[in-house]
Amino acid sequence: MKRLLVAFLVLAALGVFAPDLGLASFYLILLGSVCFWIAQATSWNLLSGYSGYFSFGQAAYVGVGAYTTAVLTGRHGVGFFWTVPLAAVLCGLLALGIGAVAFRLGSLRGEIFALLTLAVPFILAAFARINRSVDGGQGTTLPLPDYPEFFGTFQQFQYLLALAVAAVAVAVAFLVQHSRAGSALTAIHDNEDVAEVLGVPTFRYKMIAIVASGVLGGVAGSVYALQIGFVTVESVFGLTIPLFVIVMGVLGGRSHWLGPVVGAVLIVTLQDRLSSYGLDEYNAIFLGAILAILVATAPAGLYARLRARPWAALAGFVVVFGVLYILNVWGETLDWLVAGMLAAALVAIVLGTRRSSAVPAAARSTVDVVEEEPGEPPAIGEVLVECRSVAKYYGGVHALEDISLDIRAGELIGLVGPNGSGKTTLVNLLSGATRPTKGTIRVDGHDITRLPPHRIAHVGLARTYQIPKPFDSMTVRDNVATAIMFGRTPMSLRQARPLAERHLATVALDHLADARPGRLNLHQRQLLEMARAIASDPKVLLLDEALAGLNPAEVDNAVRVVRRIHHSGITIVIVEHLLRVLNQLATRIVVLDRGTLLADGDPQTVMSDPAVVRAYLGKQAHV
Ligand SMILES: Nc1ncnc2c1ncn2[C@@H]1O[C@H](COP(=O)(O)OP(=O)(O)OP(=O)(O)O)[C@@H](O)[C@H]1O
């Protein structure tokens, strides 16, 4: 943050002392344009980069912001500075509306969300064209605003204003990335359903991101109106704006607050140079080619590559800029700067590619043996989970029918049944992934039947998935830390990280804390699922086929881990087909068959029940 402040002060000084430094007003206009695009790309990235909700609607905020300022100053004589907060409020409300529609309906994700956001600027543009009280499509000229004299010339004033907006946008992106909101949005980006089940209130964080994005986009749009002087529907609601911010965000890198800044600086300056050589019509070809190359070679974006190889990139810049400067046979200073930046980008990409391919894969076949620990299972206590007449229908399919079941504190229940008998459906109902068609579910006295998954997590219920679903862009440690942060005792990432180590040690994954989940084998990924689930401090843990696909040594290891977790006092329900596992672990067995409860009792009695043998054990079980 300090470095950000220093950079801002240096750039502001450049604007204030531009005449003394002999900086031509052309440079101030260019820098103002760079600042506008930094603000827009950063605003877009707050939602789309961090959370993965790809928006094509950035022009809506630019348009509403620009038109608010243009119409009020140009037609109603309102002072410019009054229009900026109004633009912020209007765009904040617009974002609130889009978010409320898109995020309340969980299905509006991916391309459906993108299409919705694409439609919004079209509607607003049509409204501006039709409505004479806006400008009826004629365009609106802005008067020169009154501004304090110490800002100097109008170009200096414009630049300093654009710089201030860009600095605020970048500061907001920095603060979001380094707060709980940043972790929440990254988790949503990687897997929203898992984030919700781990206690992340996903709706709230998406709303925060979209409103922040709207407000910043609108304020920058308002300042943009002043920069262009004449606002038309085409100039502010056009497709160029979303396309440019997307290219800038993707090119620079969407997961870091500086990514869009890198993308905006490179693209705006490159575009300016192409225009200066009369190559405007080749703009799209150059930008498209650069984007295609970068997406193929550096999908995480340019900033990540520059960060990995800062000195080599700097050397590339200095060599190219220096040679062009000394030879002085082509172009001018700005050309040499842009050539230097392209060289730095190229060096970072080429060297970064080599380095990433040299990273050794994690040992994929080893089992990190978990020691058997002496300990006692917890005493069986009060009823923790009560299911009453629970049913779940998918159209005509009765996945579950009239299930009434109590789970007591301290139990380790084996949930078994043939394929399609409703085991996963029951786990989904308990964790809130789906809602029952009929019946009620209570956990620790709370009715959770209609609660969203993150509230169920806070009541004390955690789950794992049959196919592990780690947050791929986070380290193993941060996967677990995220669950702690949004668990029953909220805390910051800094506080959660040391605690995550303890849970990783429980599942013998602590030595892989810094690795990315992509480097783990299946067994390790399943252990990570368990570590992440217990990190949310559950009273009840649901393990959905947590041992599926493991070899015998890995199964034995996983059994020891499950026992450890149980002995720590957590009640467990484990969906499992392996009878030898259930024999070792379960205190009670519940059998489902075609969505109904077939048997429920101690393992010996249930497994010798003729109905169970007929329906399940004789056909399905493995030993
Ligand atoms: N989202 C869904 N839409 C429609 N039908 C579903 C859905 N989810 C589950 N079902 C149906 O509900 C029934 C129970 O499925 P469920 O996955 O709960 O069984 P299961 O016992 O977990 O099976 P398996 O052991 O194969 O995982 C099946 O007939 C399945 O096809």
- Average pLDDT on 184-192 reads 95
**Same domain flag for 209 and 325:** no
Residue 353 has what pLDDT?
Answer: 64
Pick the last residue of a domain from 191, 209, 238: 238
Q: Using one digit for the tens of pLDDT, what is the confidence trace for 444-475?
A: 999 999 999 999 999 999 999 989 999 999 99
Asked if residue 112 belongs to a domain, the reply is: yes
* pLDDT tier for residue 197 given thresholds of 50, 70 and 90: very high
Mind giving me the DSSP string for 116-158?
Answer: HHHHHHHHHHHHHHH-TTTTTTS-EEPPPPP--GGG-SHHHHH
Pick the last residue of a domain from 182, 210, 238: 238
Asked if residue 623 belongs to a domain, the reply is: no
User: At 430, is the secondary structure helix, strand, or coil?
Assistant: helix
282 Cβ below 6 A of ligand 1: no
pLDDT over 90 (residue 352): no
**Same domain flag for 299 and 220:** no
Ligand 1 atom 24 nearest Cα: 419
Residue 107 has what pLDDT?
Answer: 66
Residue, of 356 and 211, whose pLDDT is higher: 211
pLDDT over 50 (residue 623): no
- Average pLDDT on 16-33 reads 88
**Same domain flag for 233 and 243:** no
Ligand 1 atom 13 nearest Cα: 399
Q: Starting at the edge strand that comes first in sequence, how are the strands of the sheet with 397-408 ordered?
A: 397-408, 383-394, 438-443, 446-447
Residue 358 has what pLDDT?
Answer: 44
Domains of the chain: total: 3
pLDDT over 60 (residue 364): no
Asked if residue 622 belongs to a domain, the reply is: no
Q: How many CB atoms lie within 10 A of CB 278?
A: 8
Cα 615 to ligand 1 centre (Å): 17
**Same domain flag for 228 and 298:** no
Query: Are 87 and 64 a contacting pair, CB within 8 Å?
Result: yes
Asked if residue 222 belongs to a domain, the reply is: yes
**Same domain flag for 557 and 473:** yes
Residue 390 has what pLDDT?
Answer: 93
Residue among 393, 416, 423 to mutate when testing ligand 1 (max atoms within 8 A of CB): 423
* pLDDT tier for residue 148 given thresholds of 50, 70 and 90: confident
Asked if residue 365 belongs to a domain, the reply is: no
Asked if residue 369 belongs to a domain, the reply is: no
Residue among 393, 403, 421, 573 to mutate when testing ligand 1 (max atoms within 8 A of CB): 421
Count of residues in the chain: 623
**Same domain flag for 233 and 254:** no
Asked if residue 75 belongs to a domain, the reply is: yes
Tokens found for residue 374: 């002496």
Asked if residue 451 belongs to a domain, the reply is: yes
**Same domain flag for 457 and 350:** no
Q: How far is CA 145 from the centre of its chain?
A: 40
**Same domain flag for 202 and 261:** no
Q: How far is CA 300 from the centre of its chain?
A: 14
Pick the last residue of a domain from 343, 359, 375: 359
Residue 363 has what pLDDT?
Answer: 46
Q: Using one digit for the tens of pLDDT, what is the confidence trace for 294-341?
A: 888 888 888 989 998 999 999 999 999 999 999 988 889 999 999 999
**Same domain flag for 233 and 117:** yes
Residue-number span of the structural domain to which 419 is assigned: 383-617
pLDDT over 60 (residue 165): yes
422 Cβ below 6 A of ligand 1: yes
**Same domain flag for 215 and 251:** no
Q: Using one digit for the tens of pLDDT, what is the confidence trace for 46-88?
A: 999 999 999 999 999 999 999 999 999 999 999 999 999 999 9
**Same domain flag for 212 and 306:** no
**Same domain flag for 171 and 263:** no
- Average pLDDT on 587-610 reads 89
